[in-house]
Structure 1
Amino acid sequence: YWPPQYVIMDGDTLKPRKVVSTRGMTVDGEYHPEPRVASIVASFIKPEWVINIKETGQILLVDYSDIENLKTTTVGSAKFLHDGGWDASKRYFLVAANASNKIAAVDTKTGKLAALVDTAKIPHPGRGANFVHPKFGPVWATGHLGADVVTLISTPSEKKADAKFKEYNWKV
């Protein structure tokens, strides 16, 4: 969690190649001096990392195809991001903003926030599970900390057979 930065290292030597600070503004417009990196995952679609900055509510999409000239897209979501998991298509990364009682879904194909879904109290900051629900189609599921609650979020699908579930996408 500390210091407030992420480090890109040489895979063979583990020497740092680039150190990038995460200090900056929250989604509420306040400066945060020490926001922590909550999770880092690699996109399945392009050479890009999805980096969740906990206190700021910023999701960073970092194009690592040119380490010397990083390109970063900042996607605002909700404060207190933690960890998350991929939907079944591996296009959308869903991350719990647990103290905000929200799940943020980032579209790694377009580089934009696909949805910010309100949930019950304290969604679990874990990988979640994917399955096909008979009424809602493809869903991503996660539990909640300290509660007997499971949230199901209908996720988009490009399969023609799943078109009938589109009305439920990004709904709990």
Structure 2
Amino acid sequence: SIMDGATLEPLKIVGTRGMTVDGEYHPEPRVASIVSSFVKPEWVINIKETGQIKLVDYSDINNLKETTIESAKFLHDGGWDSTKRYFLVAANASNKVAVVDTQEGKLAALVDTAKKPHPGRGANFTHPQYGPVWTTGHLGADVLTLIGTDPAGHKDNAWKVVQEIPHIGAGNLFVKSHPVSKNLWADAPLNPERSIATSVAVYDTDDLGKPPRVLDVAKDSGLPETKAVKRAVHPEYSADGSEVWISLWGGKTDQSAIVVYDDKTLNVVKVITDPKMITP
């Protein structure tokens, strides 16, 4: 659905049904994620079940122009590289990450990864050996995967897995970095072990061989332990990169919280909670 940005009035509805990358017709594929290009008036639309990526020129919505890129199933979350030219999106049923060159309007690469990549938006930082990289975690593997993203300055590493970092467990949903920080944060809320699901790991991007600092977010919230696991999920930086905010997902009736950490010291800055804050 294309809507007016100010009023949210629907302006146009465009169907997603069509052929999958396997050559089969799908009557009702879902849109997994949409982002807007930084280089042209165009949306990058990832059609989950078909494995097709649509580049849609929205400069004239009465005469839409679409470029269809075949990638892999099932498309899910994704994010930009540090230059905002390339969009990287997980095809988690295929254990791949698709790389779209939004300037050229074509697929740059399909990168094989560990099982079920799930990047959220992914995390960018400069690796001391491999240069600029983009990071994804995994639902099905206990590693964080680093993919080289600099075809101009580090051609030999571009669109390749340059390193896998051991994570505290599988079940990751989000990784996060910030341009002014040397930390890489990663959760594991879907891990079956309580102690892992309630925690996040913080890696030093200058020394990735060093074990991460592991923070038990549920314990740091000060809330009592309940039958349901309080899962630590989605670390998110403040705009200036000084703090990281992490949500707790609890049970259907359990009080939950947002725990705020200082990015440098990893100390708790604030716990935001209320009996009415319930996030099952």
Paired residue secondary structure (1:68): helix
Of 116, 119, 122, 1:122 maps to 116
Matched with 2:244 is none
**Structure number, greater radius of gyration:** 2
Which residue does the alignment assign to 1:22? 16
Decide which of 5, 13, 30 is 1:36's aligned counterpart.
30
TM-score, normalization by structure 2: 0.56
Match of 1:166 in 2: 155
Equivalent pair of 2:92/2:117 in contact (CA under 8 Å)? yes
The code of the aligned residue for 2:112 comes to D
> How do 1:28-67 and structure 2 match up within 5 A?
28-67=22-61
**TM-score of the pair, normalised by structure 1:** 0.90
- Find the residue that maps to 2:14 and give its secondary structure: strand
Q: Give 3-state SS (helix, strand or coil) of 2:118's partner.
A: coil
Matches within 5 A, 1:100-139: 100-139=94-133
User: 2: CA distance between counterparts of 1:85 and 1:133?
Assistant: 18
Instruction: Count the aligned residue pairs.
Output: 161
- Native 8 Å contact 2:117 2:140 kept in 1: no
TM-fit CA distance, 1:23? 0.2
Q: CA-to-partner distance for each residue in 1:83-102, whole Å, 9 max, x for gaps? A: 10000000000000011100
Q: Helix, strand or coil for the counterpart of 1:167?
A: helix
User: Structure 1's 125 and 131: CA in aligned 2 closer, same or farther, altered over 3 A?
Assistant: closer
Give the match's secondary structure for 1:104. Answer: strand
Moved more, 145-154 or 96-105: 145-154
- The sequence identity of aligned pairs, in percent, is 79
Paired residues of 2:151 and 2:157 also in contact (CA < 8 A): no
Unaligned 5+ runs, structure 2: 162-280
* Structure 1 unpaired stretches of 5+: 1-6
Partner Cα separation in structure 2 for residue 73 and residue 67 of structure 1: 15
Distance 2:103 2:114 in 1: 28
Q: Distance in 2 between matches of 1:157 and 1:146?
A: 29
Which gives a bigger RCO, structure 1 or 2 (Cα 8 Å, sep 6+)?
1
Separation of aligned partners in 1, 2:101 and 2:5: 28
Structure 1 moving runs of 4+ over 4 Å:
none
